[in-house]
Every structure is written in C-alpha cells, then in structure tokens.
A and B are shown apart, each in its own frame.
Chain A
C-alpha cells in the first residue's frame, strides 16, 4: 500500500520504495520488511505501530541507514541513498538525521554536556557554538544543572531527554525515534510524548516507532505495521467520533 501524494504536496523529506529486508540468523530466515513504500513530507509526525517482531524497527533502521535493504531504495531530500557508504551515512546521521533509541545509547563515561556537544563538534560546530546549543537544549528539556552529571546518575526519563538533546543538537531535518519510551514508566512516557509534540509543533519532522498507542496518538499520521508490511496508513484528526467519543470517557451509573 503506498501513500497517496497529492500533486501539490511538498516533496517528501524521506521516501522509501520497495524496501525488503530479511534477517538470517539461527533458524528460519526472518522476513522483517517485505515490500514497503513510504513517503514522509516535511513537518509530518508519523508514528509506526504494530506488534513486536512486525519489522517496524527494522524499517526505521533502513530509513536511517543503520541497516541496508536487500532490495528497494531510500531517498533523503530527493537524493537516492543506494550508493552511500557507511561513512556517508554516519555523516548524514549527524547532520540531517537525528536518532533516539529505546535504551538511550549515551556514552556512559562522558558527561551529559559532552554527550550532547560531541556530535555538534564532530559536525564541525565551534566549541563555543556547541556549548551554546547544548545549554539551550538542556534548559529546554528541563535538564538545567545536569550538565556535569554522568548518564548513570540520571533516571531513565532524564537519560532519554539527554538523548533527545543529542539527536537534535545539529538541527537535523528528520528525527527518527525507535521505541523512545520503551524503557520508561508512564510518567517518563508522558514526558517524551510532550517533548516530541512540542518539537513537532515547531516544524520538526518525526518518524516514531512505538507499540504504545498513547505515544502514537501524539502523531498526526499512524502507520500500522504487520508482518513486514503496511497494513493501514491513517491520518488522525483527533476529532472525537460522533456519538460517544471522549465525553463517554466516564459514565456515571444510576
């Protein structure tokens, strides 16, 4: 099932065509992604949901170049990525693509400040500018005063916010989030949801993979992934359906 793109719609920021990826390990080969077409327009917030093992994380990894497809192609800003080397992908993951993972993947022996500044410095930002960016982001994410902490001293929710700061420090056009609340409690989940919504409102394009429908409902488009394929692709308008809807949340007896 492909995404209908209206003639006047802006060009997709990321586009995939015919993506296929099979994992070969012990036992039978796992057909993680079995022919996926997808286009994400600038400013969209797309959630990909589905049961575990449906291939949704693999798909996200293909979009971010963390894995390569067996067949099919990915376009970033209209540029075909088939020929990109690992090194090229690594550069693009600093500049144009920010990624957050379920287990944060912070560098454990670097301070919070260094974790956030490192990708900025690697991308060629001046130390002064990197510091300014880091300070701004940490303040925004409610992590004032944590700059000198080590990741291990922070709660899961705080570590995920640091990871978000790190992913956004170079102002990437595309933010990929792979189960960002997967190891957080419900308070941490709400926090991640609030922050993603806030960045989205400012124009950040986001592709979020999650099995948590609460988190997915922050997006304005939800793709249901089943068995390596897109089973449904729906825009959410958030209008309560006629009849019950939200006012039926609570029904008093008697």
Chain B
C-alpha cells in the first residue's frame, strides 16, 4: 500500500483517516476495506524511510493528528513507480499443479477438478456482477476495476474450457 499512499499525498498534505476515505471513495466496494491501523503503520514506515514527513497538529477536544506531506525523495519514488511497467498476471499455478499431478496421485479426477474450479470461478463472477450492479455507475474507476477482474476470470474460465477439451477422455 506504500505507493498508492504516496500517490494520494502527491496532491497535497493529508492525515491518515483522510487517505483511507480517499482510497475507499476512489475504488469503491471492490477494494478490500483498508484497515486504518494498517494505513498508520504504512505511513510510519514511509516516514522512517524519508519518503514523507509528518507534522503534529493540535486539536482542541481530541488527540493530536498527524498531517503528512511528500518529501523530495517520496516524489522521486513515485516518479520511479510510474516509470516502471507492472508485472503481467500469471496462470493460477496452484490449480495447474493440482491438475497436472492428479493422475499420478490417483486422488482426484481431472474433470472433477476442472468442474469444481469452474463452479468457484462462476460464483466469484456472480459476486462481481452483483458488486458492479451495486456500485455507483458514475464511479468509473471502481467499475473498471470490477470489469478488469471479470475479464481476468473470463480468461481463466476459457482456459479451464481448453483444459477440459484437451483432457477429456475420448470414447
């Protein structure tokens, strides 16, 4: 979560709770609800490594809050982040290993494995559809996030289909 937090701070100083809310608003329900404690811990680490600096602000009736801003080193780290391209997604190798090794173990039938895995993907697909329907239609970022997840799942399902075509015993 380090770099997304730095990216949020590029706009201007903010405190931990604000950052949590910004993330939630941007990414919608598809985003695993960020734990505020986790955000504070990450901010602490970022500060220790000199990427951000915090400033205590006194509040009359509450404990002090800490407002963070990006340092030059932080801005540089962010630049570097945007320069890199991201890793491509990988084949779900755990399932693939199970599938590949099934005949040797004699413990599982490959077609049943495929069917079971497909049920799971379809159920996930269904929850994503529901999530997409529940999410604000104008929140394009959140909608695109869900759509991306659905397209990945679609590819996984297509691949299961290929496995089934190849591995089904001819009669």
A residues with a Cβ closer than 8 A to B are: 50-51, 186, 193-194, 197, 212-214, 216-218, 222, 224, 226-227, 231-232, 234, 236-241, 245-254
- The answer to whether B133 and A194 have CB atoms under 8 Å apart is yes
A241 to chain B, nearest CB (A): 6
Partner of B32, one of A197, A250, A254: A250
- Contact: A239 with B154, CB < 8 Å? no
**A-B complex: 4 closest residue pairs judged by Cβ atoms:** A217-B125, A238-B126, A254-B2, A247-B32
A226-B165, A254-B2 given as contacts; is B122 within 8 A of A249 (CB)?
Answer: no
Query: Which residues of the partner chain B approach A249 to less than 8 Å between Cβ atoms?
Result: 30-31, 128, 145-146, 149
**How long is the Cα–Cα vector from A137 to B147 in the complex, in angstroms?**
29
Q: How far is the CA of A246 from the CA of B168 in the complex (A)?
A: 30
A213 touches B119 (CB 8 A): no
B22 at the interface (CB under 8 A from A): no
Choose among B3, B127, B154 the residue that contacts A213 (Cβ–Cβ < 8 A). B154
* B25 smallest CB distance to A (angstroms): 14
A238 touches B123 (CB 8 A): yes
* In the complex, B14 has a CB within 8 A of chain A: no
Complex partner residue of A246 from B2, B131, B165, CB under 8 angstroms: B131
Query: Which residues of B sit under 8 angstroms from A251, Cβ to Cβ?
Result: 32
Residues of A contacting B123 with CB < 8 Å? 236-241
Check if B1 is an interface residue, CB within 8 A of chain A.
Answer: yes
In the bound complex, what is the Cα–Cα distance between A240 and B120 (angstroms)?
Answer: 8
8 Å CB contact of A240 from B3, B124, B154:
B124
Complex CA distance for A227 and B122, rounded to whole angstroms:
20
Docked complex Cα distance between A237 and B123 (Å): 7
The interface size bin for chain B is 35 or more
- Chain B stretch 96-143: residues in CB contact (< 8 A) with chain A: 111, 115, 118-131, 133
- The answer to whether A212 touches B30 (Cβ under 8 A) is no
Given A50-B161, A232-B115; A246-B127 close (CB under 8 Å):
yes
Instruction: Say if the beta carbon of B164 comes within 8 Å of chain A.
Output: yes
Chain A neighbourhood of B33, CB < 8 A: 247
Asked if B4 lies at the interface with its beta carbon under 8 angstroms from chain A, I say yes
Q: Which residues of A contact B161 (CB under 8 A)?
A: 50-51
In the docked arrangement, what's the CA distance between A193 and B164, Å? 26
Check if B27 is an interface residue, CB within 8 A of chain A. yes
Give the chain A neighbours of B145 by CB distance below 8 A. Answer: 249-250
A interface footprint on B13-43 (CB within 8 Å = 1, 0 otherwise)? 0000000000000010011110000000000
Residues B165 and A214 in contact, CB atoms below 8 Å apart: no
Which residue of chain A has its CB nearest to the CB of B119?
Answer: A234
In whole angstroms, how far apart are the Cα atoms of A193 and B150 in the complex? 14
18 A-B pairs (CB sep. < 8 Å): A51-B161, A213-B125, A214-B154, A218-B126, A224-B115, A226-B164, A237-B126, A238-B126, A241-B120, A241-B124, A246-B124, A246-B149, A247-B32, A249-B30, A249-B31, A249-B128, A251-B32, A254-B2
Name the contact of B119 in the complex, choosing from A232, A248, A253, A254 (C-beta under 8 A). Answer: A232
Tell me whether B10 is interfacial, beta carbon within 8 Å: no
CB of B150, distance to nearest CB on chain A (Å): 5
Cα–Cα distance between A226 and B114 once the two chains are bound (Å): 12
Once A245-B127, A249-B128 are accepted as A-B contacts, the answer to whether A216 and B122 lie under 8 Å apart by CB is yes
- A236–B32 touching, CB < 8 Å: no
Inter-chain CA distance A250–B121, complex, in Å, is 16
Contact A212 B120 (CB under 8 A): no
A240 to B165, CA, bound (A): 27
Question: Is the pair A214, B3 in contact by a Cβ cutoff of 8 Å?
Answer: no
**Other A-B pairs beyond A193-B129, A231-B164, A232-B115, 18, CB < 8 Å:** A50-B161, A214-B125, A214-B129, A217-B129, A226-B164, A231-B115, A234-B115, A234-B119, A238-B126, A240-B123, A240-B124, A245-B124, A245-B127, A246-B127, A246-B131, A247-B32, A250-B145, A254-B1
